[in-house]
Amino acid sequence: MTEPARPGEYEVVASEPVYEGRVITLVRDTVAMPGGATSVREVVRHPGAVAVVALDDDGNVVLLRQYRHPVGGYLWELPAGLRDEDGEAPLETAKRELAEEVTLAAERWSLLTTTYSTPGFCDELVLIYLAEGLSRVVSPEGFTVEHEELDMEIQRVPLDDAVQRVFDGDIRNSAAVIGLLAAAQYRASPRRLRPVDAT
């Protein structure tokens, strides 16, 4: 949960759209600072995303190797996707992405954690789920694999090995790092989790 600012502090006094794209919008906000000054902040507005730690009965986690243009190379990631379907609940987005990217469904779902990916300039909130009791499904009707997904590699690796790959620097995607470490901690010492439909 985000702690709100005190009344009269950090309020937006002006907002100017700079760019509107397919996924993101960039705005220039003028913000009232404590003490009476103002400051300009460029903010990327993002629809949010989900990521899934898909853990099978043998303790293996599903990882994807996908090309990411902004970093100019491949990253190992969790099944994940944008919350870009109007009216779709985050859990339903997670279920859809798991089916689309790795043709899996899960019997049990838990909300592991939520994270702001880059809060210094972007409002993207990522909800990270744990999916257990995996089974194969067919690709959802109407879904077409395209672009970077045509080149994706899918692996199942022991969760402990995936965690070591985080420390080795082999896994650098932030949602994957957070999700894998959270899943490992939860399995080692179960914690109270929020309701699966929380945000």
- Is residue 149 among the annotated active site residues? yes
Beta bridge partners of 135: 105
The neighbour count for residue 76, using CB atoms within 10 Å, is 20
Q: How far apart are CA 6 and CA 34, in angstroms?
A: 10
Name the E strands within the chain.
Answer: 12-20, 25-32, 38-45, 49-55, 60-68, 73-77, 80-82, 104-116, 125-136, 153-158
Q: Given strand 12-20, what is the order of strands in its sheet?
A: 12-20, 25-32, 38-45
Beta bridge partners of 28: 16, 42
Q: How far apart are CA 130 and CA 136, in angstroms?
A: 17
Residue among 9, 146, 149, 153 flagged as catalytic = 149
> DSSP secondary structure string, 139-197?
PPTT----GGGGG-EEEEEEHHHHHHHHHHTS---HHHHHHHHHHHHHHHS------TT
As annotated, the active-site residues are: 149
